[in-house]
Structure 1
Amino acid sequence: MPSRSLPLSTIGFDADDTLWQNEQFFRVTETHFASLLAEYAEGSDIHARLLEAEKRNLAVYGFGIKGFTLSMIETALELSGGRVPARVIGEILAAGRDMLSHPVETLPNVRETLEELAGAYRLILITKGDLFDQERKLAQSGLGELFDAVEIVSDKNAATYERIFARHGDGPHRAMMVGNSLKSDIVPAIEAGSWGVYVPHDLTWVLEHVEEPAEAPRFRRLAHIAELADLIDELER
């Protein structure tokens, strides 16, 4: 519970590429995947076909490494006309397993920021993707003790934030969402009535790109998560 009565009572945080590295491992794996299929297509075509497969499969597999791995296998079969060797399929599966076991790399100043805000506000981790993988990363990050609640959801939209901020806080109008994805973290949170604080990451999945809601009164952009506490102080003056 907040230690003092403030207009802002609840802060939601995205996980992947907000609290810890994520997209860089997808990029490395995708580069390796393209090399495995080099005899069947040019690299740019491989990447484009994989992206199309991911788009098609989101509604079936959801977000995360498992869906990404299945999309790679589907793309390999399509590009090769079903002739891709079993060895290559095995390497794709191994690459997916490697991603699922990769050590968590917490981003700079994340722990210090969470520790500064914990106790004064309800902190909620709001992330989408595979349940087991997100739970693994949270446990390995050592950040779990700083959150009052954890919500792992299949997707993020305005209704998601309305529900979560009503369940764990005082509603979206007294809440803030912090994340690196404009599409998933910022725009829908603002639509729900919350503050949306955008902290860009150098690597963000192309399907998460939308225009910044620059004219929205509750939109803010920070260069780094270390600036969050000062922003909150400024908003509450």
Structure 2
Amino acid sequence: MTFEEVRNKLTGGGAGSIEEASEMLRVLIGTGKQTPVQIALALNESKRFFTGPRWALWAMETHGLPDEKYAHHRQNVGEMLRRIQALSKDKYALFLEIPISKLDMWTELYNDGVRNPELENPCVPVFNFLKAYPDSPEWKRDKLRKTIVSFLHPEKAYQPELNLKFDALGTALDDDQLSRLTRDENFGSAQAFVMAYNGAKLCSHAVGVIKADSRRFSAEQLEDIEHDLSEARQVIRQLILSKRNTGA
């Protein structure tokens, strides 16, 4: 089997037997070309013919893979790519151009979808992330890794140099400071959600005390707070209605 034949097999229906999958791997590993993504696809093809843990041992013994962890990581990439291919040829072509070291990170999104029984397809988090960050395939690894963590776990949002560094009990934030913060290239939707969530919690706990000692505050001071809260509430309400109407 030639390299071109292997590539055509991977683009088409895949391997028809374990022998064919093994031959594909032999060609790819021995070709001398940079084919890690194709190897990942071929590893996924080979795993279809196994059950249980025997597959990783076979891959190590037959094709010289360094260890089981490496085998499973690479196969996971191949599995994700196959699922993407079944949904979108254009996105599949896009992902084939992403280096394998970055594809490993994208599998965090895919595996999150695998673990979610409510999703019809495990690629949903992958596509949602791509929609939120269309230029993410071009990102450097460090930015991609941190943004994926923030996307999957907003409560762990990475915030380099984004700390407000203010005393919630003694310092009033100004709009210029907040505007600089939200325009920072490292400030994304995950950080924005945490920021809004924390702000809402701070407000909900503070208003009771303000009410109990309201004589200390003028109507104008209270109107300033009301104005900001009213605008934010209107935006959130519109988002909620939109999602409920579209089922998003």
Q: Which has the higher helix share?
A: 2
Looking at both structures, which has the greater relative contact order when contacts are Cα pairs under 8 Å and sequence separation is at least 6?
1
Structure (1 or 2) with the greater strand fraction: 1
TM category, shorter: under 0.3
Q: Greater CA radius of gyration, 1 or 2?
A: 2
- TM-score under structure 2 normalisation? 0.21
Relative to the length of structure 1, the TM-score reads 0.22
